[in-house]
Amino acid sequence: MTDVHTKALSLTGRDAYQALSARRWIVLLMLVVGVCIALVGDLSTGPASYSLGDVVRTLVLPAKADAQMRVIVWSIRMPSALMGVVVGMALAIGGAQMQTILNNPLASPFTLGISAGASFGAALALAFGVALIPVAGDYIVAANAFVVAMATAFLIHLASLRRGASIQMIVLLGIALVFSFNTALAITQYFAAEQAVAAIVFWTMGSLTKATWPKLAITAIVVGVTLPVFLRRRWQLTALRLGEARAASFGIPVRRLRLETLILVSLLSAIPVAFVGTIGFIGLVGPHIARMMVGEDQRFLLPASALTGALIMSSSSILTKILVPGAVLPIGIVTSAIGLPVFLYLILRSGRDIW
Amino acid sequence: MLSTHHLGASFGSRQVLRDVTLPPCHGGEVVAVIGPNAAGKSTLFRRLAAILPGPGECRLEGVRDPDRAVAYMPQDQTASAVLTVFESVLLARKQVSGWRLEKSDLMAVDQALAALDMSDLANEILSELSGGQRQLVGLAQCLVREPQVLLLDEPTSALDMHRQLEAMRQVRRLAHDDGMLVLIALHHLDLALKFADKVAILYDGTLHDFGTAAGVLTPENLAATFRIRARVESCSQGKPHLIVDDAI
C-alpha cells in the first residue's frame, strides 16, 4: 500500500514538472509570434504607412513588390527594425545574467552604471575626438563607449570580489557610478562645442535610426556567440541564484563562472549601447517579465528574456514613430518611459524580495 | 575512506581551524561533529568540501569519482530564486550528470523527494518554504547526487522533532545500508548520541576528542567545551540519554 502511495506521489512531481515545462515552451512560442508581429509592425510604420499584409508580401516575395516599397522596407527600415530586435535581445540577456551573477534582481547595465559609462566614453569621442582605441577609425564613438562600459563592468566585478561585499554595496556602487559618469558627462558637455553637445544629447537618448547592416551583423554575432555559451552552462548559472554558498557546495567554481559571465555580459551591454546609444531599462524589465512568465530555469529564462527584450524594443520602436506625427522620437526615451514604472513597481512591490 | 591531516583555515589574521586531524572515517559510518558556537564546525566542513583553501590535506580513497563523490549541504539555505522544489533538486542533480536533461534525472529527483517524504512539496516555490522545509530541500539536493560522502552542516536545526528524527533515521540508513560516509554537524547532542557511530568534538578550532558517542560525551568533555553540567544515563528502557543539569 505504501509503495503504491509513494509511486503515485513520485509520479506527481515528475509529471507536474513536465507539464510546467510544456507550458513554458508554449510561452516561448507565443513570444516568438509576438516578436514577429511587432517586427512586421515596426517595418510597416514610418513616414509612409503600409498595411501589415503589404509588408508581409514584400518580405516573402520581394521580386513582386512595388519597387519603392521594396527599397523602404528592405533597405531603409529593415536594418533599424532588426537592430531593435537584436539590441533588445542583447540588453535583456545581459540584464538577466547580471542579475544572475550578482544574485540581485535590481542589477542591469543601466542601473549599475555600465550604460552611463558608455555614454561618457561616447561623449569623449563626440566632443573632443578622443579615441580610447587608436585604430577604431569610423567606429571611434562605439569603441570608446565599449571601452568605458567594459572598464565599468570590471570595476563592479572587482568590488564584488572584496571580502564582505554585499549585494546592497554593489547596488550602491552602481548608483555612485551612474552619478560619477553623469557628472563627467556634464563636464564634457560644458566644454564641448555646441554642435557636439547636440550630438551627445541625441546619442544619450538612444536611437535606432543610425543602424546599418555591419553594425547589425556585429551585434547579432555577439548575441549569437554568447547565448549558446550561456545555454551550455545553464545548470551552473541557474544554481547561482541559490546563493554563492549553495552554488559552491555543488562544486561550481563560482568566481570563475562569474568572471567569465561578466566578460560576456559586458560585451552584450556595451556593443548595443555603443551602436545605438543609451537604451534604458530593457536589461532590467525584460528579464523580470520573463522570470514572471517562465521562472528561473535558464533553459527558459534566457530565451524568454531575449524575446521579451526584443518585443519591448520593437513595440517601442513603433511608438517612437507614431507618438509624434511626422517625427521619430529617440527610442531610449520610450523604453525609459515604459521601464521606469515597472522598475518602481519592482521596488515597491515587496521590500524583502527585492534584495 | 576519508583521511584528514592537519587541516587549518583562517579568516584574515584570525585562525578559525587549527591542525585538525580526524582519525580515518569509513563508508557506512555516521560521524557527528559537535561543538559550541564558533568552534569551527562549519569551517571544517567547508575545508572537507574543498570550498575553503587552507593548510593541511584531506584525502578520499576508494571512491569512484573524487569530483562527484562528496555532497555538501551548507548551513545557509536561504534563497530568493523563483524555482520549484522539484526544479531546485533537479538543479543539484544536473551539476553531476550531463547537461542534457534525461528521464533518469527526473526519476532521481522523484526518488530523493520520496526518500525524505516530501513529494507533496515538489511544486512549491522555494522562496515560499519554511526554514525547515528548505533544509529538507537542501538534504534532497545532496541525496539526488548519489554521493559516497555526505557532509551535512546542521541539516536539522530548523526541523520539528518528528522531522529531525525522520531525517536522522534516513541519514543513518544511507550510511548503514548504502555504505555512505556521513559527516554531520549537530547542535542537539541527543541526536548525536542516538544516531552517530562516532562523535568528534571541536573546540576553539581544534579537535578536542573523537570516539564513540558514549566515550566522547563525558561530563568532563561537556564541561570543558560546552560549559554545561551534563551526563549520559540509561533510562528505564535501558537507552542512553543526555541529562543536562545546568550551565557552568
pLDDT tens profile A57-101: 888 888 888 888 888 888 889 999 999 999 999 999 999 998 898
Question: Where is mean pLDDT largest: A198-202, A263-267, B26-30?
Answer: B26-30
Q: Please give the ipTM for the structure prediction.
A: 0.83
What rounded mean pLDDT belongs to chain A?
A: 86
Residues B161-176 have pLDDT tens digits of: 988 898 899 889 889 9
Residue A29 has pLDDT above 70, yes or no: yes
Over residues B11-40, the mean pLDDT reads 89
Looking at residue A8, what is its pLDDT?
Answer: 45
Looking at residue A222, what is its pLDDT?
Answer: 93
Residue A352 has pLDDT above 50, yes or no: no
Question: CB-based contact (8 Å) between B38 and chain A?
Answer: no
Cβ within 8 Å of B, A 84-143: 103, 105
Residues A295-336 have pLDDT tens digits of: 889 999 999 999 999 999 999 999 999 888 878 888 988 998
3-state secondary structure string across chain A: CHHHHHHHHHHHHHHHHHHHHHHHHHHHHHHHHHHHHHHHHHHHCCCCCCCHHHHHHHHHCHHHCCHHHHHHHHHHHHHHHHHHHHHHHHHHHHHHHHHHHCCCCCCCCCCCCHHHHHHHHHHHHHHHCCCCCCCCHHHHHHHHHHHHHHHHHHHHHHHHHCCCCCHHHHHHHHHHHHHHHHHHHHHHHHHCCHHHHHHHHHHHHCCCCCCCHHHHHHHHHHHHHHHHHHHHCHHHHHHHCCCHHHHHHCCCCHHHHHHHHHHHHHHHHHHHHHHHCCCCCHHHHHHHHHHHHHCCCHHHHHHHHHHHHHHHHHHHHHHHHHCCCCCCCCHHHHHHHHHHHHHHHHHHHCHHHHC
By mean pLDDT, which of A103-107, B178-182, B222-226 is the weakest?
Answer: A103-107
Query: Between A166 and B6, where is the model more confident?
Result: B6
Looking at residue A238, what is its pLDDT?
Answer: 92
Looking at residue A6, what is its pLDDT?
Answer: 45
Looking at residue A350, what is its pLDDT?
Answer: 54
Determine whether the interchain pair B51/A249 forms a contact, defined as Cβ–Cβ distance below 8 Å: yes
Q: Is residue A351 very low, low, confident or very high in pLDDT (cuts 50, 70, 90)?
A: very low
By mean pLDDT, which of A162-176, A177-191, A240-254, B1-15 is the weakest?
Answer: A162-176
Q: What is the pTM for the complete model shown?
A: 0.86
Determine whether the interchain pair B79/A241 forms a contact, defined as Cβ–Cβ distance below 8 Å: yes
Question: CB-based contact (8 Å) between A289 and chain B?
Answer: no
Looking at residue A164, what is its pLDDT?
Answer: 67
Tally A–B CB contacts below 8 A: 107
Q: Is residue A136 very low, low, confident or very high in pLDDT (cuts 50, 70, 90)?
A: low
Residues of B in contact with A295 (CB under 8 A): 82-84, 87
